[in-house]
A and B are shown apart, each in its own frame.
Chain A
């Protein structure tokens, strides 16, 4: 029984969905079986793998670029208070602007294609990651910093062997959340800026003949992949060197 509990709400939704789809009059809204057939159709035509790979490709590049730039920048800003004072107002101004608002500008700069989508994903992850890394450093207890300084560590060594590991638990949470945001944004970006990927699939399936079974199939894939990405990131939180940061 206990093992089935996590699946109960999903099962109930499938049932309600199935019954509701049967009672509709328009016939456009697909039932779960039609969606499953849609998925199989996509799989047969080779589109499913192609689109999933396309979406993951864009997310990987945009997200990796953001991690590689935002984390060092955030660590430095948290460490050098002056840099933080200079840059923080700008970061706070840019942060409330939805990454989607950047779509026209990214198309203007990069044209319709992968680069525009990657740029949007980069933006969506870069700002929250920078702010989170900065705060993570500021939250490092002064006791630990003083302990590190007491052993005669140079600043780079202090950054690598005290500040980074002390900030890591908070940083990993931020990495997980921003990967989730990146995955949200890739779908939106693909609806406008490119012609492949799961976001494109959803728009294309609707425009090309109201194939709502494929629309929902795309949604299901987005949900499943998002879940897998999140579970993967959660594994990082289990590492012994960071578990102390999450309470007991």
Chain B
């Protein structure tokens, strides 16, 4: 018997009204994500993949279909499922400690401090506990936001192009950091990206979206164990397959 899916998206559609008419952004999306799986949602900019993630996260209400998590329909945002924005999501008026502890207001002070220390260390921000976000680099802010999300011990993380604003070297470092953190904290992760390499490096499965209205074109299993060799023939084969699926030639 297969275990029930953690996240299940059923015949989801989304329309936004525009003066008189409406724009169809998502059209009949069906997707199941297993517990502990890392799924990348890959698509061109503006295709509606962020909208999809916002619906699954409970920030937007779909106009058709349903999203179920643990068999229950999503009615709104929930601390068991944390959304990580690009580094814009950290609270600039709080220190690193304040940010990491933000969601822990229900805990007693002692446990709270313990958790903060643990997650500050996990994301490699030790020594910066009292720094404000403006004193941190883009990559550090991103780690901070991930730490804040992990601190409330959610089952699911939604990451919306989290490394999109970082330089390419930092981005590579952050990806291996994410994989390291994922080994330490088993979470179900939905990761939206427009970066093909990123999806092949991270995902268990890559969901390729079409241009608007977004539908699922194809779901590709990334059947490579971690750590992945970025020059292995299988890596290149999968990457090229995704390039073609997205409709890009891989020659410049």
B92: interface (CB < 8 Å): yes
Within 8 Å by CB of B91, from A146, A149, A165, A240, lies A165
Chain A: minimal CB distance from B58 (Å): 8
A242: interface (CB < 8 Å): yes
Within 8 Å by CB of A147, from B78, B81, B91, B134, lies B91
Asked if B93 contacts A149 (CB within 8 A), the reply is no
For residue B79, which residues in chain A have a CB less than 8 angstroms away from its CB? 150-152
Q: For chain A, which range describes its interface: under 10, 10 to 19, 20 to 34, or 35 or more residues?
A: 20 to 34
B152: interface (CB < 8 Å): yes
Closest Cβ neighbor of A142 among chain B residues: B59
A146-B77, A150-B57, A150-B77 known; A240 and B102 CB under 8 Å? no
Q: Tell me the bound Cα distance from A201 to B83 in angstroms.
A: 62
A151-B79, A152-B103, A165-B93 known; A146 and B134 CB under 8 Å? no
A241: interface (CB < 8 Å): yes
Query: For window 122-155 of chain A, which residues contact chain B by CB distance below 8 Å?
Result: 141, 143-144, 146-147, 149-152
Asked if B83 contacts A146 (CB within 8 A), the reply is yes
Within 8 Å by CB of B132, from A149, A165, A166, A244, lies A244
Chain A: minimal CB distance from B57 (Å): 7
A168: interface (CB < 8 Å): yes
For residue B93, which residues in chain A have a CB less than 8 angstroms away from its CB? 165-166, 168, 241-242, 244
A173: interface (CB < 8 Å): no
Chain B: minimal CB distance from A200 (Å): 43
Within 8 Å by CB of A244, from B57, B92, B103, lies B92
Asked if A150 contacts B92 (CB within 8 A), the reply is no
Asked if B134 contacts A152 (CB within 8 A), the reply is no
A162-B91, A168-B93, A243-B134 known; A151 and B85 CB under 8 Å? no
Chain A: minimal CB distance from B190 (Å): 14
A244-B132, A244-B133, A244-B134 known; A152 and B78 CB under 8 Å? yes
Asked if A146 contacts B59 (CB within 8 A), the reply is yes
Query: For window 160-187 of chain A, which residues contact chain B by CB distance below 8 Å?
Result: 161-162, 165-166, 168
Within 8 Å by CB of A144, from B59, B82, B91, lies B91
Q: Tell me the bound Cα distance from A152 to B106 in angstroms.
A: 10
Most buried by B among A147, A161, A242: A147
Within 8 Å by CB of A143, from B77, B78, B85, B132, lies B85
Asked if A151 contacts B152 (CB within 8 A), the reply is yes
A244-B93, A244-B133 known; A143 and B102 CB under 8 Å? no
Given contacts A144-B88, A149-B59, 5 further A-B contacts (CB under 8 A): A147-B85, A151-B82, A241-B94, A244-B92, A244-B132
Interface, chain B (partner A; CB < 8 A) = 57, 59, 76-79, 81-83, 85, 88-89, 91-94, 102-103, 105, 132-134, 152
A-B contact list, 23 entries, CB within 8 Å:
A141-B88, A143-B85, A143-B88, A143-B89, A146-B77, A146-B85, A147-B89, A147-B91, A149-B76, A150-B57, A150-B77, A151-B79, A151-B102, A152-B78, A157-B105, A161-B105, A162-B91, A165-B94, A240-B132, A243-B132, A244-B132, A244-B134, A245-B92
Q: List the 4 shortest-distance A-B pairs measured between CB atoms, nearest first.
A: A151-B103, A244-B92, A152-B79, A165-B93
